Amino acid sequence: MRSLNRRAVLAAGTLAAAFAPRTGAAATAVAPTRDARRANAAPFLWGAATAGHQVEGNNVASDIWLLEQVKPTLFSEPSGDACDSFERWREDVEIVRSLGLNAYRFSVEWSRVEPAEGQVSLAALEHYRRIVTACREAGLAPVVTLSHFTSPRWFAAKGGWFHPDAPATFARHCERVVRHMGDQISHVVTFNEPNLQLLGEWGKTPDPAVRSIMDAMLAEAAKASGSDRFSLMNAGHAAAMVAPVLEAHRLVRQAIKTVRSDLPVGLSLAIPDDQAVGPGSQIEDKRAAVYAPFFAEARHDDFLGVQTYGRSLIGAEGPLPTPKDTEQTQTGDEFYPQAIGATIRYAHESTGVPILVTENGLATNDDAQRARFIPAATAAVLTARADGVPVIGYLHWSLLDNFEWFSGYGPKFGLVSVDRTTFKRTIKPSAHVLARIARSDLSR
- Reduced to 3 states, what is the DSSP secondary structure of residue 190? strand
List of residues 6+ apart from 120 with CB closer than 8 A: 22, 23, 24, 113, 114, 176
The string of DSSP codes covering 29-91 is P-PPPHHHHHHHT---EEEEE--HHHHS---TTBHHHHHHHSSS-S-SS--TTTT-HHHHHHH
Cross-strand pairs, 334: 328
**How many residues does the structure list for the chain?**
444
Give the CA dihedral 432, 437, 441, 444, nearest 10 degrees: 80
How far is residue 6's CA from residue 78's CA, in Å, rounded to a whole number?
15
Does the annotation mark 193 as catalytic?
A: yes
How far is residue 33's CA from residue 37's CA, in Å, rounded to a whole number?
6
How far is residue 358's CA from residue 329's CA, in Å, rounded to a whole number?
20
DSSP alpha helix (H) spans, 100-152: 110-113, 122-137
Instruction: Please tell me which residue in 68, 109, 175, 193 is annotated as part of the active site.
Output: 193
Environment class of residue 332 by beta-carbon count within 10 Å: exposed (0-12), middle (13-18) or buried (19+)?
exposed
Distances (CA, A) of 404 to 3, 5, 200: 12, 8, 16
How far is residue 430's CA from residue 421's CA, in Å, rounded to a whole number?
23
Pairing of the two strands 304-308 and 265-270: parallel
**Beta strands of 110-241 (E only): which ranges?**
141-145, 187-192
Closest CA to 173 of 121, 227, 134: 121
Name the residues annotated as catalytic. 193
